[in-house]
């Protein structure tokens, strides 16, 4: 069997961002994304600056509201309310994780569903479960679906296994795939003999944050393997998939870095543009 085709998230994201930039340039108003960051977590700071740079590069406005680690829930909710009521702001995201004294559900619930471009407000979570086109779909699973569709425009009947059940990746990924008529299994840290389950899958989505856990004998010949993981080992970034080994077995594989990560940012910008269009009652 030949090596798997690498699905290049970087170039797909580049194309997508160029398409959004062109649409943005057709309007006199600029889509506007508000990013709320609490505390000084190094990774979050980098993620948010990257989002800001990417938004500005395609002609959007993006402001980071950087709050002290010690901010109270009341103060944070006041900022969210202010952004909800600000007509110039189209999209709001609150960077997770929040410091332990802040309840993420309290905060996410308060983001206006029309501005919830991360799709984490329970209202949008419900719309996704209901397979509503009105749902704002979380950017990482939305980007993964886009990559899968490059190869399989029709996913109907595929067996998909999602490794991980977080609210931001695993669960929305499973819902999206189910909405595409896949047969979906979600496995997690308490699942026994995961490899017996993943070996049945046409599609494996690894989103558990365990470096190189998915080995070649976990996947069947010809599978499509998506690596969501971002792990750091000795200063180097790797995914949840043992890339070199799995590449000999799978038909399609996403790399880390350069796979799901760039697609996530592109999809966040797509959601922000969609929010802008909806709020201004414009057509795409």
- Catalytic residue from among 48, 116, 118, 227: 118
Per-residue binding letters, 74-113, with ligand NAP (x by CB under 6 A): ----------------------------------------
**SS3 at position 154:** coil
CA–CA separation, 158 vs 178, rounded Å?
10
Sort residue 234 into left (φ over 0), alpha (ψ -120 to 50) or beta: left
- Catalytic residue from among 17, 51, 142, 171: 51
What residues does 203 pair with on adjacent strands? 160, 224
Tell me the torsion sign for CA atoms 101, 104, 106, 110. positive
Binding ligand NAP (rule: CB under 6 A), the pick from 50, 188, 217, 222 is 188
Does residue 247 bind ligand NAP (CB under 6 A)? no
CA–CA separation, 245 vs 261, rounded Å?
21
CA triple 239-44-136, angle to 5 deg? 80
CB of 226 to ligand NAP, least distance (A): 10
Does residue 208 bind ligand NAP (CB under 6 A)? yes
Does residue 165 bind ligand NAP (CB under 6 A)? yes
- Catalytic residue from among 17, 95, 116, 227: 95
Residue with tokens 């490059």: 150
In the complex with ligand NAP, the residue whose CB is nearer, 31 or 138, is 138
Site size for ligand NAP (CB under 6 A): 25
CA–CA separation, 31 vs 20, rounded Å?
11
What are the distances in angstroms from CA 218 to CA 159, 196, 230, 276? 14, 7, 19, 43
What residues does 19 pair with on adjacent strands? none
Does residue 207 bind ligand NAP (CB under 6 A)? yes
CB of 105 to ligand NAP, least distance (A): 14
Residues 168-187 that bind ligand NAP (CB under 6 A): 168-170, 187
Give the residues lining the site for ligand NAP (CB under 6 A).
140, 163-166, 168-170, 187-190, 194, 207-210, 213, 228-231, 260-261, 264
Catalytic residues: 51, 95, 118
């Amino acid at each position: 069997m030949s090596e798997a085709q690498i699905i290049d998230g970087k170039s797909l994201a580049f194309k997508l961002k160029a398409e959004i930039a062109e649409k943005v340039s057709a309007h006199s108003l600029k889509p506007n994304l508000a990013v709320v960051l609490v505390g000084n977590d190094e990774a979050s700071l980098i993620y948010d600056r990257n989002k800001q740079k990417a938004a500005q590069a395609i002609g959007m406005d993006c402001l980071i509201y950087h709050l002290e680690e010690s901010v109270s829930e009341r103060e944070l909710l006041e900022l969210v309310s202010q952004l909800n009521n600000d007509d110039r702001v189209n999209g709001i995201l609150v960077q997770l994780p929040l410091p332990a004294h802040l309840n993420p559900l309290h905060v996410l619930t308060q983001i206006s569903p029309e501005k919830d471009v991360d799709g984490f407000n329970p209202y949008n979570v419900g719309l996704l479960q209901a397979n509503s086109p009105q749902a704002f779909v979380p950017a990482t699973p939305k980007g993964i679906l886009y990559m899968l569709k490059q190869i399989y425009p029709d996913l109907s009947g595929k067996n998909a296994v999602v490794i991980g059940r977080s609210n931001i990746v695993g669960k929305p990924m499973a819902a999206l795939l189910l909405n595409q008529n896949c047969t979906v299994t979600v496995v997690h840290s308490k699942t026994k003999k995961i490899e017996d389950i993943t070996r049945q899958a046409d599609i494996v989505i690894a989103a558990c944050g365990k470096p190189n856990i998915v080995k070649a004998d976990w996947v069947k010949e010809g599978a499509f393997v998506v690596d969501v993981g971002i792990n750091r080992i000795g200063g180097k970034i790797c995914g949840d998939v043992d890339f070199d080994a799995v590449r000999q077995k799978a038909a399609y594989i996403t790399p880390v870095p350069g796979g799901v990560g760039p697609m996530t940012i592109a999809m966040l910008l797509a959601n922000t543009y969609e929010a802008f269009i909806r709020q201004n009652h414009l057509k795409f």
